[in-house]
Amino acid sequence: MFSLLFISLLSFNPGSEPVAKVAGKTIYKEEIPKNTSVEVYIKRLVFFEIAKEKGYDDSVRAIVERSFDETLVRELYSRIIRDSKPTLAEPFIMYRLLGKEVKAQLIQTEDFMTAYHAWIEVIKGNDFGEVSTKYSAEVRLKNQKGDIGWLRWRYDANPMLKKAFRMKEGEISFPFKVCPWWNIQDYKSNEGWLIIKVLEIKDRELQDFINMESGLKSQIKRIKSDKIANDHINYLKWILDIDIDIEGLRLLSSRVPIPSERARGGLRPEFRLEDMDVVLGRTNLGLYTVRDFSRDIKTIRRLPQLRNREEAKNFTEWRIVFHFLVLEAKRLGIHRLPEISENFMKELSRMAVRRWKAYEIEPLTHATDEDRLNYYEVNKEKYRMLEKRKVYLIEVETKEDIDEIKRELQRGKDFEKLATEKSIGEGQNKGGLIGFINKDERGVIGEEASKLNVGKVSEPFKKDDRWAIIKITDIKESYIPLYSEISYRLNRDYERDKRREIEDKIFEENKEKFGVEILISGEFEEEFEALDVGPDKKIERIN
């Protein structure tokens, strides 16, 4: 699907500065990631060529493609909703409608004749609330005598809300039909008929339009985006004609372990080999099986509660739609966009090299007890603990204040007492104690402390925008920890150094094979010299 040559052509910039060539591909200064040295980047490219040669790119390609499916769908979503920007008039119209509230009552019935009889009774003067209690199909409406409270305008207002805002105070509507997917406040209705009575209309106090305009635009754009996206998803569902298999769903739920009380999110199903061909859903494009499902959830960090049949059904349906969205994105050529295809290759390279190292380098880095002991003997000094001094600090604002404190100390005043009374720095409530520190800690404090012996007080010194003076009361001598005290660090450091040694050796053995050609330009020269590619080893200097 993607090729390294394709990426090279897309990323070529005539104004870029070439710094190297690897496997016939020119590397430009601009494509080297920040915080990555040229040496590391070139080694990474060589390692990818080795991994490709051994087929590791093919072994991870499917995983990378699945992870990039999310990227394709996000880009498709951005294309679908690109027309969701509000018009110039929409924010003002919404602002005007937000400036009032409507208090209403409602009668909801399942058929027109029942609604018509209810309307006749209301027109004859019967109490609207009593009629709603008598005729409404919705239990909550019956209990609340049709009261649905104060209604506020929404950009995505349903026809019931639109009708209420067009009516006058005291007006009663003729019965009108509602659709199954309408949601009237918290009243979820089946298909039926409504009658509205507007009890009261009042104005709401709002901020000036200019202060609300930006927020209104964002709200309208979000609502329009959701509607456009949902309409598109519903259209795809209609095309697919998804039929979820109840028996397959039952199997899926049964394979999910019972969660513990502390479990967060849904647990992963534990499928058996014989489950793989069980059908979870049928569509116009074919079957969706347990095998497809288990492959899908490998890249999903958090699953819903799949033991719940409804959640499992919704999730399975979404995964089927998701696959169709990926197909649509590829049909539109989104996977060929330069940025997406380039990122795909980078991730493929990273994953292939990572797997190659895991199988062919990591097993060679594991240390025996003898290896660790020898490493300890050779590198003891690297683990030496620096000498530390116990430091007390007095910190004040001005040079005059610190000079006065110095004079009081010379007259025999107790350092800790002075710190408690006058210091505004760290440790003031502990007599100025800041603990044991070495010369490299706490900046200038560590530097000054390293010059003093036990019982000595420093001269006043500048600390940031303040002045300070310190006293040393104890010294912990420098020492090398015992082998048993740092065995974990030794193992980690041994494996890290061994890994570098192996990687350097592999690079040296393969750089000529994969045509590592350094095109030095000034600032990179020293770094390239670290690669040991001398004048006789394919170096060109750019003037």
Per DSSP bridges, beta strands 517-520 and 433-437 are unpaired
**Cβ neighbours around 351 below 10 Å, total:** 19
Alpha-carbon Rg of the chain, whole angstroms? Answer: 37
∠276-279-283 over CA atoms, to 5°?
135
Residues whose CB is less than 8 angstroms from the CB of residue 527 and which lie 6 or more positions away in sequence, other chains included: 37, 38, 39
Which pLDDT score, from 0 to 100, does residue 263 have?
A: 56
Give yes or no for a contact between 472 and 455, defined as CB atoms under 8 angstroms apart.
yes
73 in any annotated domain: no
Same domain, yes or no, for 110 and 28? no
Give yes or no for a contact between 472 and 453, defined as CB atoms under 8 angstroms apart.
yes
221 in any annotated domain: no
Residues whose CB is less than 8 angstroms from the CB of residue 137 and which lie 6 or more positions away in sequence, other chains included: 108, 109, 110, 190, 192
Indicate the DSSP class of residue 442.
T
The structure tokens listed for 292 are 């497809």
Same domain, yes or no, for 104 and 194? yes
Same domain, yes or no, for 432 and 518? no
42 in any annotated domain: yes
Q: What is the CATH number of the domain that holds 108?
A: 3.10.50.40
312 in any annotated domain: no
Same domain, yes or no, for 113 and 186? yes
First to last CA, the chain: 38
**Cβ neighbours around 516 below 10 Å, total:** 23
Range of the domain at 129: 100-205
246 in any annotated domain: no
Q: Is the dihedral of CA 509, 510, 513, 519 positive or negative?
A: negative
Residues whose CB is less than 8 angstroms from the CB of residue 23 and which lie 6 or more positions away in sequence, other chains included: 4, 45, 49, 514, 515
Per DSSP bridges, beta strands 192-203 and 176-178 are antiparallel
Here the contacts of 211-215 (C-beta below 8 Å, separation 24 or greater) are 212/91, 212/95, 213/91, 213/95
- Domain-terminating residue out of 145, 172, 205: 205
Same domain, yes or no, for 104 and 201? yes
Same domain, yes or no, for 167 and 122? yes
- The model carries a pTM of 0.64
Same domain, yes or no, for 106 and 200? yes
Which pLDDT score, from 0 to 100, does residue 497 have?
A: 95
For residues 52 and 38, give the distance between their C-alpha atoms in angstroms, rounded to a whole number.
21
Q: Is 441 exposed, middle or buried (0-12, 13-18, 19+ CB in 10 A)?
A: middle
Q: How many domains does the chain have?
A: 3
183 in any annotated domain: yes
Same domain, yes or no, for 196 and 110? yes
Same domain, yes or no, for 524 and 463? no
Number of helical H runs and strand E runs in the chain: 19, 17
Same domain, yes or no, for 110 and 184? yes
The structure tokens listed for 101 are 């509230």
Residues whose CB is less than 8 angstroms from the CB of residue 468 and which lie 6 or more positions away in sequence, other chains included: 393, 394, 395, 396, 402, 425, 445, 460, 461, 462
For residue 414, the surrounding DSSP H or E stretch is none
432 in any annotated domain: yes
CA dihedral 263, 265, 270, 275 (to 10 degrees): 150
Sequence letter at residue 327: L
286 in any annotated domain: no
Same domain, yes or no, for 170 and 110? yes
For residue 310, the surrounding DSSP H or E stretch is helix 309-331
Same domain, yes or no, for 459 and 392? yes
Closest Cα to residue 248, out of 306, 205, 196, 200? 306
Digit-by-digit pLDDT tens for the chain (543 residues) are: 334 333 343 444 445 678 888 888 888 888 888 888 888 889 999 999 999 999 999 999 988 988 899 899 999 999 988 878 888 899 999 999 899 999 999 999 989 999 999 999 999 999 999 999 999 988 888 899 999 999 999 888 888 888 999 999 999 999 998 764 344 444 444 468 999 999 999 998 888 999 999 999 999 999 999 989 999 999 999 999 999 999 999 999 999 888 776 656 578 899 999 999 999 999 999 999 999 999 888 878 788 888 888 999 999 999 999 999 999 999 999 999 999 998 999 999 999 999 999 999 999 999 999 999 999 999 999 999 999 999 999 999 999 999 999 999 999 999 999 999 999 988 888 999 999 999 999 999 999 999 999 999 999 999 989 999 999 999 999 999 999 999 999 999 999 999 999 999 999 999 899 988 877 544 444 454 455 544 344 433 333
∠40-63-73 over CA atoms, to 5°?
105
